[in-house]
Structure 1
Amino acid sequence: MSCRKICYLFFFLLLGTFQGFASHIVGGYIRYDCLGISSGNAIDYQVELVLYRDNIRGNPGATFTQFVPLTIFTNGVSNVQSLSLQSTKFIVDSIEDPCFVRIDSIQIQEGRYTGVVSLNRERPHLLVYQRCCRNNSIDNLQKPTDDWGSTWTIEVPIFNVTGCNSSPQYNSNPPVAFCPTQPLNIDLSMTDADGDSLVYSFCAPFTSPQFNPEPNPAQAPPYSEVQFLLPQTPTFPVPSAPPVSINSQTGLLTGSPTTIGQYVVGFCISEYRNGVLLSTSRRDIQINTANCNPVILSAVQDQTLLCDGRTVNFQNNTPPVPGYNIKGYFWDFGDPSTLADTSRLTNPSYTYPDTGLYTITLIANPGLRCSDTTTKDFLVYEQLNPQIEVDGLFCEDSNSIDFIAGGSYESYATISWNFGPSASISTSNLDTVRNVQFSGPLNSFTVDLQVDQDICTENRSIVIQLDPNPVAVFQLDIDEICAPFPVIFSDQSNVFGPADFIWSFGDGDSAFVRNPTHIYQQNGDYEVVLEVRTTDFCIDTVQFRDSVFASRSFSPNQINFDYSPKSGCPPLVVSFSDSSDYIGSAQYFWDLDNNQLSNAANPSFTYTDSGFYDIGLLLITADSCADTLNLRIDSAIEVLPSPQADLVLSKDSSTLKEATVNVDARGSRDYNSGEMFFEGGLISRSNFTTYTVEDTGHFQFSWIAENQFSCLDTALAEFFVYDVYQFEIPNIFTPNGDGVNDAFRVRACGVYDYNIVIYNRFGKEVYKSNSLLQGWDGYINDRKAKPGVYFYKIVIKDLNGEYLDFQGSLTLLYE
């Protein structure tokens, strides 16, 4: 039924694995480009080293190093230069064989190293890079295979002979994997930018020393070849038929490996110009072969449903293959009446024209060599899916139920009902049985239906539940109200299943929700009726009645307010606060006397005149229990008498020298005491005083009068003092301690900034100050100054804001 063919997958891995940190390298090559003359005999070459590493099977911690040593041999002398890592990338598997099974253990990463080297133009050179240790699973080398290392070489010919020669460039990477059962056609060719001829041939790969993973410098030539395990040789490296070979002109690798394993294949690329060999580059690859044919076991579900109808849903039970995606399916449903009974869906469905026995065919990977086919017989019958349908009255007190055999079944099917011993009809073979009644102490009864069709039998059961008849009951949150007032009705009925609720509120209005709210707009006595009508199973109609009485006498609304203070001196600010208790909302109409009205809930008002004031509040409520309430308090507020303060100044302005003024409050009336203030500071408790202002500017005098009720009144008066400019500099002073003219001090008025410096006759500073209140006392450093002539320099800012300079002399005498 299933095909199981053994074929082999093989893939190329560029060789070069080594132990320890080097075990991840699996191949590489060296090439170069001539850049031209550097200086003198030196020629610059761009050298490229390409390494490949196994990203999975090598050392898990190994990565491409940042630098590698390149050894240059010239006439037996070695020179090492470092190449730096430029880029890395993963090589994508390009296998297109539809039966190729992905191998998770293969992941090849490429690393490219470059560097510029300067070489002597008169000599040939050999570029070498070595790494130790191939992997130990190679099948065509003598064991142990991890004793064999890798050496990559390329020759640079004499510049003076060949000119600026560049080595050829590989056209593509070797493929990671392919299936050997198909003819090989692998392009290992190169392209030479100089147009030189290239010759491809098998050759034995070079090994490398085992004592050093990365010799630096590399071992000098000659190099040893790896030893093949017979019957494999360098020219017949892989068991194959036809033998694996390389075309010397095209570099095309052909052949077909026949044995599972890992094999090293080495080849050389020789570059000729005009028949003269210029250079030889060595490269080796690794051929890995493995099972290439997936084991596919197509499978169709077992038939478990026989009477499921002529439309069959098929289930594809083909198991998954690790590492492989099945390329498709082909179904043949075995319908002899048509050629369109096929599908390529994974899980299709098909509708047969008739019942019967059909052979189903499923092919996985149709048309491929790795396909598999399964066949299975299916019996197709008409659908059998009966259902029990019921209708009628399902009440405990009275019930009458009709039973119908519905669903899907054929007319020739046999029907058997069993209603049980509590039913008025115990059994029946009809598809519809009407007016079956149940009785007894229980309220639930099991009814069974059996339908036989073809070879199938289906059983269905239903439990008949009888519900109690409904009982209508309701409650209301309040039954004595005042209109308009909302009443909340709460249904408390005992109802099973859906029901209709019909309310009649006794005032002509009605509602059809289970828990309504109704507003009675007028006072009166109302009868409320609830009618409950069940609409499913136990269908019945019941009523319940109650009453609501609405009257103004049930109104809870009350008016009240408070205010503070109730008495005081003017201006008296009184705050009013409503403390009324009412339902719903209200409008406020305050009469604060003195023709003052307010509609605020909690107003305030300032009373300025002495006397008594009446206060009234009119409250009009809305919504529930609408009402108009009125409250008035006579002589509610007393505003006490106030004194009359008066303040007069003898003059309203003066110069600073004449800034003495009489402050007179004797014109005040109706007071017992008072206090006089200048700029907020107390200056007298008398109603008359004389005061001298000592600075310029605008100033305020105030008089606060107080009467026997502790009421106050304040009178204010403004006084302006201005300055007159005066600046006098004396020319002599006598600091002899007699108290007369003992200091050199200027006399100034209207001066705001002041700076003075005094010098002796030699120009040395002896005194300086910025205060008009200080003067020179004739001392220099705590010693009396010598009598004689001194010189001063003074800078001031006058009352107009102008700066003035004064310079002159003064005389100091002690007599």
Structure 2
Amino acid sequence: TKWLWNFGDGSSSVIANPTHLYDSAGVYDISLIVEDALGCKDTMFVPAAVIAKGPTANFSVGFDAQCTSTTLNLYDSSLNAVQWIWDYGDGESDSIQNAQHTYQVAGQYNVSLTVYDTAGCVSSFSQSVQISVLKNVEAKAYRSDSIGCAPFQVQFRDSSTNADGLIWDFGNGVSSNTSDTTIIYTQPGTYYVTLIALSDSGCHDTTTFSTPIIVNFQPQADFVGDPLEGCIPMDVQFTDLSIADTSTNYYWQSGSNTSTNTDPLFTYGLQGVYDVTLILENRGMCFDTLTKVAYVIVNDSTAPPESPIYSVDVKANDKIEVTWQNSASIDLGAYILLRFNAVTLRYDTVFVDNNPNNISFSLTSSYTDSTVNTLDSIYTYKLSTTDKCGYSLRLRELTAHSSINVEAVALGPNIAVSWNPYGGCNVSGYEMYRKAENETLWNYIRTFDRTTLNYLDTSLTCPIMYYYRIVAKDLCGRLVSANSDTAGARPVIPMPTYELEIVRSTVINNAQVYTEWRIDSLLVPELKGFELFRSTNGSTFHPIKVVPSFQSSYIDNNVDVHNNRYQYMVRALNKCDIAGLMSKRSSSILLKAETADGKVRLRWTPYEKWDTGVKVYVIEQKNRYGVWERVKIVNGNVLEYFD
């Protein structure tokens, strides 16, 4: 036999005669099911079989989840209870009817309620509660620095806990939601920085740096000085052009001068080139330094050394170029070129260079004096070098340099040449150059030592003008030369007179005029050539050609033999380009033909060359075979013929 008891409180038993303890007051129904070995069953149900007096404990729960905790609300639903004892499962308890408890840590908690009735009967009820706390967030941040000079750069880094989002406020109107941010504060001021950290569950936390960002003014140094160059003692007034505020301190330094004034006045007592430095300081941490290098130039009162003249070089008979060595003085002010005046016996200024900066780094400078006549005079120069303070050597301390003047005088077939020595320094010697009036290039003659100042030229061959020039070499031990002016003379050299004999001028090819003359072979070496002249009117002759001395004929292509008669003369040119006597004239014959009364009338111009005249004229006619045949011989004074 089997038994199954149901005690009405959710409990059961399978023994035949059980004992059961009711821990809660109430009215309970009892049922029993009996089953034999054959599986036959019977059920007995007794309603309200047991009435248990006393309290009955029971409660329900509610949750209020927060970012840092969760509050559990406990609602009592016990019966017949007059006293309540709560056990929250975390070591905390309470004795009120409807309780509220806050859990700081999420987890599984067993909450129980024990109640008492007026008779002291007890009832307990418990249930397991799962406590969930929302993900809490804590705002934390770091910064690289907190005080500096504008523009001041600060790096901010987030270190918040459980943050799903960020909101930065940097205090300067700029915000950001990135984790790491770099902010540049461009303006001086005090800035408070706040970070708000956010979680996805809606929790947030705010932190503000305990000390603000302090940005100080950053000064910018600038200045000008006036004057920037002068002579000792020299006062320079400096004017501040800096960007600064009222808390900025000034520190000036230049040479031995220092100052903390805004616009100092410095006095320089020693020659030199000075840097000027201005340091600005604001609140002990914001600095700016400006140094202007070689800004102030203070010149001394010592005259610069002489700039030596290298050469006084005659470039043309009305031009002299004076070349000198550039000065190395740092305070160079001017070059003053002086020329001796033979009338006043004083030196006159002919050129001033007030801006002698040698930007091309040339070793020399030069000036061309175009107010001279070197054919008549020797010119003497001095160069005064002046510094920017006006100091220079005295005139008598300067070295004078003079030009070379050459003279040429004809002595019969020879020319005597003389010149003055170059003035100013020694030379290694002199070179002589010569050119004839019909030459363009100068020809080297010879070199003289420095003590020789004259020469008799006996190598002349023509009675023409010869010009001479002297070149002084290695002036003052340098590879520099100086030219003289030029002088000319005409030697007296007798020249033979040549008169040529012209042979004839004849028309050839019915288009050209062929002229020939007789040459004495003994004269050919003495001649340069022959000059031909032509005329169409018999009175005016024009030169048409110069041919070499070995040529004794000329074909004139530039003619119109059908309409003009041409007359020619020729003369010899010797090697000195001196022309001989003009030859007697020769002429071409111009033939004209016309028809009258069935006849052909021929007329021709007389041939003019022979002193004895023309004996006869031979008239020829070309036959049908192209062969010329003689048709008539007429007397030499006849100039027409009728066929």
- TM exceeds 0.5? no
Q: Which has the higher contact order (CA 8 A, sep 6+)?
A: 1
> What TM-score does the superposition give when structure 2 sets the normalisation length?
0.30
